[in-house]
Amino acid sequence: MMKSLEGRRAYVTGGSSGIGAAIVEAFANAGAAVAIGASKRARNAEVLADRIRGKGGTAHVIVGDLSDRAATDAAAKAAIQALGGLDIFVHCAGIDVTKTAPTHETPDDTWDRMMSIHLTAAFRLSKALIPEMLNGTKPSILFIGSVAGVVAWQDDVAYNVAKAGLHHLARCIAADYARQGLRANAIAPGVIDTPLTRGYASGMEGGEGQGMQVLAGLHPIGRYATPDEVAGTALFLSSDAAGFITGVVLPVDGGMTMI
């Protein structure tokens, strides 16, 4: 996949750490100019952008709180302006609850924030970006969902439903724009070794170390994945190699959803 995105322009939300940062680096290494979306970890995004520029690549940082509608619209405009257009949009920004609860004990603000970051931001960004992307080169939208959007994780209703909605948003966009050449897909990762996951594991019985072992055991393959393993899939789905793939939710889950 070396240089498989040569000349493409990609905007990746949540690009400052974890899966998002791995996708940004993979895209840049494949020749894409990248806009790195960030919020609280803007400094991390700047460090990543400097590293890409140091290798001769093109990278910009787009800072904005995607739970705020005005900031979301501004981020879309800033990404297009920085890159001079757009060919690839990846929505990877996300949050998780640090304390699980059954549906009737889930706070309204937890529900609202999950929907705003995972789903509403994806919709609003897509709405703002698609007109420009239709003028781009083989445009592609990719959402980073979750196995929790395929099967229900107990006591995590807001996250589950937000990710399921994100998967279906990808399908809807794929259906709307297939004849115009814009593809849309989603990835449903299992447990990935990211700061978000470790924060979740730290709230489990026995703390982070034991929690990560429990999470690893959920996968038939016997381990959790690295961010680079998801980034490789993202690179494939955004490249010409996947030119006949659209409307797909692809599990990258070590077999978790097959059983």
Residues 188, 90, 88, CA angle at the centre, nearest 5°? 130
Quick one: three-class SS letters along the chain? Answer: CCCCCCCCEEEEECCCCHHHHHHHHHHHHCCCEEEEEECCCHHHHHHHHHHHHHCCCCEEEEECCCCCHHHHHHHHHHHHHHHCCCCEEEECCCCCCCCCECHHHCCHHHHHHHHHHHHHHHHHHHHHHHHHHCCCCCCEEEEECCHHHCCCCCCEHHHHHHHHHHHHHHHHHHHHHHHHCCEEEEEEECCECCHHHHHHHHCCCCHHHHHHHHHHCCCCCCCCECHHHHHHHHHHHHCHHHCCCCCCEEEECCCHHHC
CA 88/CA 161 separation, integer angstroms? 25
CA 186/CA 181 separation, integer angstroms? 17
Among the listed residues 90, 100, 92, the one whose alpha carbon sits nearest the alpha carbon of residue 158: 100
Active-site option among 11, 159, 200, 224: 159
224 assigned to active site: no
Residues recognised as catalytic? 159
